[in-house]
Amino acid sequence: MDRIRIVGGATLEGVIPISGAKNAALPLMIASLLTEETLVLENVPRLADVIQLKRILSNHGVDMGVRGRRHGETDTDGETLTLNAKTIVDTTAPYELVSTMRASFWVLGPLVARMGHAKVSLPGGCAIGTRPVDFLLQVLEALGAQIEIDSGYVIATARHGLKGAEINFPKVSVGATHTALMAASLADGVSVISNAAREPEVTDLADLLVKMGAKIEGIGTSTLTVTGVAQLHGATHRVIADRIETGTFALAVAMAGGDVTLQGARTDLLESALDSMRQAGAEIEALPNGIRVSRNGNGLQAVDVTTEAFPGFPTDLQAQFMALATRAQGTSRIRETIFENRFMHVQELARLGARIRLDGDTAFVDGVERLKGAPVMATDLRASVSLVIAALAAEGETVVNRIYHLDRGFERLEHKLSRCGAQIERISG
């Protein structure tokens, strides 16, 4: 099993290209199930989760191709995928394919919307909370599907098609909003989705669906009105920049010090987190095609953050920000309101010398003068990279084990950091 070895103390200088967003690419790929025509997706990141979703879609009969490299493209440019679901040969998504990635469960909505029937295994993924699928199933029931759960599978049936409906989420849910948008696009009539997620990845999906012929009003707001159409057509769409990768590398620069341009990053996707980084001592400048992040000489200051749905502070940056807080002067208060089990990185940060106290959904991080390298173990995707960030500023060597989590969400992490001066390498086996 691969590991990552880091020798701390080096500052970061240079340019890091930001990949396409994994959390946008996955639902965009799944949207290919809604049409018989070809969908072309540009800037798709090369990640383990993308590879797994390719397997799942292929099992349903989706034909896929990858465009070859073009003049001027580099090894950090994303893939261009073509997906064609003209003939869906199987409406079952088996356990062995779905169990490793929660987002794969989202195939349920498009399959039942287009085919009238779907059987999908209950999902797996990072162990950071229960993340129930109840909201997704309630969406399909509201649209007229009959839902049955049998032997670990969800069976959804709509023999006469889905019907437009009022959908009011009691809690903001990105996955359920994705499902509602895709399913309602092919439903008969008008659907109004209230308390919808406003995350940029949801907006990106809505923008693609409109290109495919869907009728959606209120994009970017918490109320979405979808007028169903009989069929959708093909389209070409570029995946938005990954705001979580952007925030992660920005925090790495803030932690290690230096001056780095995050090429292709967008400040409008991450304003709350960037504001918190400024308060902590990082300098952040918006550029025409990216963001410049620097910290040269000034110390870090404690900052309080609370994770919230967009446009609030992202839960997917909570672990990374906690790593930064371990070296800040004073006590930072970090409250996690999205997932109930997302502090598993705390004990691993403690191995590096961090001082963190937990009280329910809140972590109190007392900044320390120095961290010291040690062997640590990744517990989930975002926790993995928080250990890398901490290790960049730790004295001596840190080895991060079980980094397969990292490969699910970060494209060539060690390569991007090493190009900017970090002493980091992957150890195979």
Q: Is 171 annotated as a binding residue?
A: yes
Q: Is 126 a catalytic residue?
A: yes
Cα separation, 367 vs 323, whole angstroms: 10
Secondary structure (3-state) at 55: helix
* DSSP-assigned letters across all residues of 265-287: --GGGSHHHHHHHHHHT-EEEEE
Q: Is 226 annotated as a binding residue?
A: no
Q: Is 43 annotated as a binding residue?
A: no
Residues 6+ apart with CB under 8 A from 73: none
The sign of the dihedral angle between the CA atoms of 310, 313, 319, 321 is positive
At what angle are helices 134-142 and 174-185 packed, to 10 degrees? Answer: 20
Q: Is 163 annotated as a binding residue?
A: no
Q: Is 174 annotated as a binding residue?
A: yes
Secondary structure (3-state) at 171: coil
Contact, 93 vs 121, CB < 8 A?
Answer: yes
Q: Is 121 annotated as a binding residue?
A: no
Q: Is 316 annotated as a binding residue?
A: yes
Tell me which of 126, 183, 192, 196 is the catalytic residue.
Answer: 126
Contact, 373 vs 339, CB < 8 A?
Answer: no
Cα separation, 220 vs 269, whole angstroms: 12
Cα separation, 99 vs 381, whole angstroms: 16
């059987």: which residue's tokens?
119
Contact, 205 vs 179, CB < 8 A?
Answer: no
H or E element in which residue 184 lies: helix 174-185
Q: What are phi and psi of 287, to 5 degrees?
A: -115, 165
Q: How buried is 299 (Cβ within 10 angstroms: 0-12 exposed, 13-18 middle, 19+ buried)?
A: exposed
Q: Is 416 annotated as a binding residue?
A: no
* CA distances from residue 77 to 5, 45, 73 in whole angstroms, order as listed: 25, 8, 6
Q: Is 22 annotated as a binding residue?
A: yes
H or E element in which residue 295 lies: strand 290-295
Long-range Cβ contact pairs of 262-266 (< 8 A, separation 24 or more):
262/16, 262/18, 262/290, 262/291, 262/292, 262/293, 263/15, 263/16, 263/17, 263/18, 263/289, 263/290, 264/17, 264/18, 264/289, 264/290, 265/18, 265/241, 265/290, 265/291, 266/240, 266/241, 266/291
Residues 6+ apart with CB under 8 A from 218: 224, 225
Nearest-CA neighbor of 269 among 326, 332, 317, 337?
A: 317
Binding residues for UDP-N-acetyl-alpha-D-glucosamine, as ranges, are 102, 171-174, 316, 338
Binding residues, as ranges, are 22-23, 102, 171-174, 316, 338
Residues serving a catalytic function are 126
Binding residues for phosphoenolpyruvate, as ranges, are 22-23
